[in-house]
Amino acid sequence: MLFIRKIAFLLAIILISSIGQGYSESEPLLYPYGPSEGDRTTPVDDDGASDNVPISVAFKFFSKEYKSLYVNNNGVISFKTAVSQYTPDAFPLTHGETFVTPFWGDVNNELSGNVYYRESTDDNLLKMITKDMEKHLPSQHFTAKWAFVATWDKVAYFGSKSHKVNTFQAALTTDGFRYFIILNYGDIQWTTGEASGGNPLTGLEGLPAQAGFNSGDNTHYFNIPGSRTAEVLKIKSTSNVNYPGRWIFRVDDFQVPGGCLFKSSFAKEGEEFWTDSTCTTKCLCKASGDVPCADESCSASAACVPSGSFFKCKEKEKVCF
C-alpha cells in the first residue's frame, strides 16, 4: 500500500504546483503562524507527524493532564501516540484514542503545504487570544497565560490532481485554571483524499473528514456538525460562538458554548431538529442547555433530510404539469 501511495504521489506531483506557505493577512481569523513566528514544522511526509513534543504546561483534556503531544499531518493533535491513519473513523473511539481533530482527513504535504506548530507565551499572541475570548465568551473573564498553536497551511489531499488546498488551525490555551481549544478555519476546498474514496480531480465524495474531539471512552467525545459527510466542506461557515469559521470549547470540564449537546452532537440555541432519518422525534435546544423531545413527524408535504448532525423536515418541490 505504501509503495502504491508513493507512486501515486510521483504522478500527482507533475500535475500540481507548490503554493506559498505562511501567515496571510487575507486570513485574519487565524492566529499568526509560520517561520516568522518561530514555528517548527512537521516532516514533509505523507501520513507523517512531529516527534513527541514536550509542553511546559500540563494541558488538561477531559479531566486528564498531558505534558506532551503530537502534531499529525492528517489534521490531528494527539496526546498519547502519533496518528498515521488517514481515513477518519466515527467517534467515539473507545480504545484510549485521545485527540483533537480540527480536520482529520488524508493530507499530503508532499504535494503542497506545511504543518506548523509552536508553544508560546508571547505577549502579542496571548493578547489576541484574550481579546477573542472576551469577544466571544465575555462571561468567562479569561486571560490567556499560555498557548500551543498548530496550523495546517494550504495543505493538499492525497492523490490530488487539482490545486485545491485547505488551511485550518487549532489553538490550545489556558489561564492556569481553565483549558480551552479554539479551532479556526481558513479556506476549505477539499474533504477527502483518493485513498478514502475521494475524487482526485475534486477532493470530494468518498468518506469525508472528521472534526471534533475524542477522549478514548464511549462518553466524552464531540462531533462538529457535518463531520464525515459532504457538509464538512462548509465548516468555515459554521460556529458555536456566532463567528463563522471559529469553534471554541472548554475541554477540562467539557463545555460547548452557544448551544446544546445531544448524543455528543451540537445543536444551536433555539434550533429545532429531528433525531434520526425517520423524523419521528423532534427536539429543541433551549437556552438552559436542556433538550426536550417529543413525538412529531414531518407533514405529508415534507421529506426527512439530513441537516448537520441531525435531520429536518423539508418541503417537497411541487411538480407542475
Cross-strand pairs, 147:
120, 173
Q: C-alpha grid cell for residue 2? A: 505504501
For the chain, the structural domain boundaries read: 2-257, 266-321
How many angstroms separate the CA atoms of 129 and 31, rounded? 8
The 8-class DSSP code of residue 9 comes to H
Position 177 scores a pLDDT of 95
pLDDT at 221: 84
pLDDT given for residue 19 in this prediction: 39
Question: What global pTM score does this model have?
Answer: 0.80
Q: What angle do CA 313, 202, 316 make, to 5 degrees?
A: 20
Q: What is the pLDDT of residue 257?
A: 75
Blockwise average pLDDT, block size 10, the chain, 321 residues: 48 41 57 97 96 97 93 96 94 86 97 97 97 94 98 98 97 97 97 97 97 84 90 94 94 78 79 91 87 91 86 80 55
The Cβ of residue 90 has, within 10 Å, a number of other Cβ atoms equal to 12
| CA-based torsion, 89, 94, 96, 102: positive or negative | positive
Give the per-residue pLDDT at 21: 42
- pLDDT value for 28: 75
Closest C-alpha to 180, from 287, 260, 79, 256: 256
E-strand ranges in the chain read 40-41, 53-61, 64-72, 76-78, 99-104, 107-108, 114-120, 146-157, 166-174, 179-185, 210-214, 221-223, 246-250, 259-262, 265-268, 272-274, 281-284, 293-295, 302-307, 310-315
pLDDT for the residue numbered 321: 55
**Residue 27's pLDDT is what?**
46
Residue carrying the nine cell digits 509542553: 55
